[in-house]
Amino acid sequence: MTNPSPTVLLTGFTPFDGEVLNPSWQAVRAFDGKNIAGHRVMAVELPTEFGAALPALRRALRTVRPRLAIAFGLAGGRAGISLERVAINVIDARIPDNAGAQPIDVPVLRSGPVAYFSTLPIKAMLAALQRSDIPAGISQTAGTYVCNQVFYALMHAARHQRFSAGFVHVPWLPEQATRHAAPGMPLAQMQQAVGIIVRVALTTAGDACLSGGAVA
Ligand code: PCA
C-alpha cells in the first residue's frame, strides 16, 4: 500500500460582528479536497468564539495531522492580504465574540511564551503575491481578538508537533467594503492568493530576504 498524500490544513472563520459572510472561509473552502504540490488540502471552518475556536482547531489538527497549517481570518479595513509575522500571548477583545464573551487582558495559554513567529516563508509569499499583482504586505500584528488567539495556539501546537504554520488576514469582500467605506478584494483574487500562499509554503526551503518592515 502506498502512503497517503501529506496534508495541508486551511482554516477560515464563521461570520462575526453582524456580517453574513466571512471572506476567510469563502476563500479557503474552495480548496477542500484539492491537491497542491502533492499535498491534499483540507479546509475547516472555525467558530469566531474564544471558548470554541481552540477546541475546534485542536480537533482539526488531530484529524488532518497536517504537514502545513495556515489559518485565515478577516481583517476588515486592511487594503490587501496581510501575511502575519507574530502571534502574541494576550487576548483583549474590542467587541464580544459570537457567544457574547469579551475577555480582556488574559493570556491565550497561561504557561506559554510571550509570542511566536510564523514559520511560513512570508517574504517569499509576499514576492509571489506581488508578482501576480495581488495587493499584499507583511503585518506586524494579528490583533488581540479570536484570530490572534487561534494563530498563537496554532504556533504552540506546531512547535510541539513539528509542522509549519502561520496566519493570513484577508480584507473585506467588495460588497462589504462598500458598506464600510473601506478597501475590498474580489473573492476570485483572494482565492488566487490562497493558492499562491500554499504553493509557496510547500515549495520554498528558506525565506527570501526582502524588506517588509514597518517604521511604526
Ligand atoms: N477575524 C477576527 C476573528 C475572526 C475573523 O475572521 C480577528 O481578526 O480576530
The domain limits of the chain are 7-203
**In terms of CATH, what superfamily is 7-203?**
Peptidase C15, pyroglutamyl peptidase I-like (3.40.630.20)
Any idea which residue has 497517503 for its cell? 4
pLDDT at 92: 98
Question: Can 49 be counted among the known catalytic residues?
Answer: no
Residue of 193, 42, 68 lying closest to 120 (CA atoms): 68
pLDDT at 3: 63
Question: Can 45 be counted among the known catalytic residues?
Answer: no
Return d(Cα 156, Cα 111) in angstroms, integer. 11
pLDDT at 91: 98
Any residues with Cβ below 6 Å from ligand 1, and which? 13, 16, 22, 24, 48, 73-75, 143, 145-147
Three cell numbers, residue 119: 514559520
Q: Which residues of the chain have pLDDT under 70?
A: 1-3
State pLDDT tens for residues 107-141. Answer: 999 999 999 999 999 999 999 999 999 999 999 99
Cα dihedral angle (60, 203, 114, 101), rounded to 10 degrees? -40
Question: Can 147 be counted among the known catalytic residues?
Answer: yes
